[in-house]
Amino acid sequence: MDESFFRLVFSRHSLGPKHQTIPAPDVGALRLAVSAACHVPCHGENLPFRWAEVASRDRLASLFEAALPADADEAARAKARSKALKGPMLLALIETDISPERSERDETERKLTAGASLMNLLLGLHAQGFAAKTVSAKDFEAPDGLYDPAGEAILCFVLVGTPDKPVDYNDIGQGSDEHLPLVRW
């Protein structure tokens, strides 16, 4: 048995943006991770997601600020805008080709495919020495081209950078029987 896969999976761990530093992945490293993210189970002809690198943090900051109530004070506005500035690199996972005619089962399969893509991306980044953390996202009323609300939705953001100090990831118990969310039926 080749244990390298299990070592990689068991050693991957979310690392928040305050523990990330530059460099972020370069174009080659990012393309390699996204290529891994595209090798997922998919029943359709097209992958039901796409990845977007958020190159303009100011544009995203404006989206976060615009989502606030009109009477939000300056502190709330500054806090909302700061969400866009976290991590050396910011990626968005976008669900594509959303259709109300799809069955609930098809929608579930599409979300599972996007989730598999997310995990492969995280592992692809980790394998190259980068750290990442997934954070939730909510749709914006006017997303300024980040995605098309007529047929797309934002699923999550991924904050990416280099660990600020060497991290000794150990198997944190996911493989031991008492921690497995697994039953036999």
- What is the domain count for the chain? 1
**3 part of a folded domain:** no
Phi, psi of 107 (to 5 degrees): -65, -40
At 149, list the tokens.
């609300």
3-state secondary structure of 119: helix
pLDDT in tens, 6-33: 888 888 889 999 999 999 999 999 999 9
Per-residue model confidence as pLDDT tens digits over 130-147 = 999 999 998 898 999 999
CATH, residue 127? 3.40.109.10
Considering the domain boundaries, does residue 51 fall inside one? Answer: yes
Alpha-carbon span 182 to 90, nearest angstrom: 33
CA proximity to 96, closest of 146, 159, 147: 147
* 24: in domain: yes
Residue 154 forms beta bridges with which residues? 94
Whether the full predicted model's pTM is greater than 0.85, yes or no, is: yes
Q: Is residue 83 part of a domain?
A: no
Range of the domain at 157: 18-55+88-164
- DSSP class of residue 88 equals S
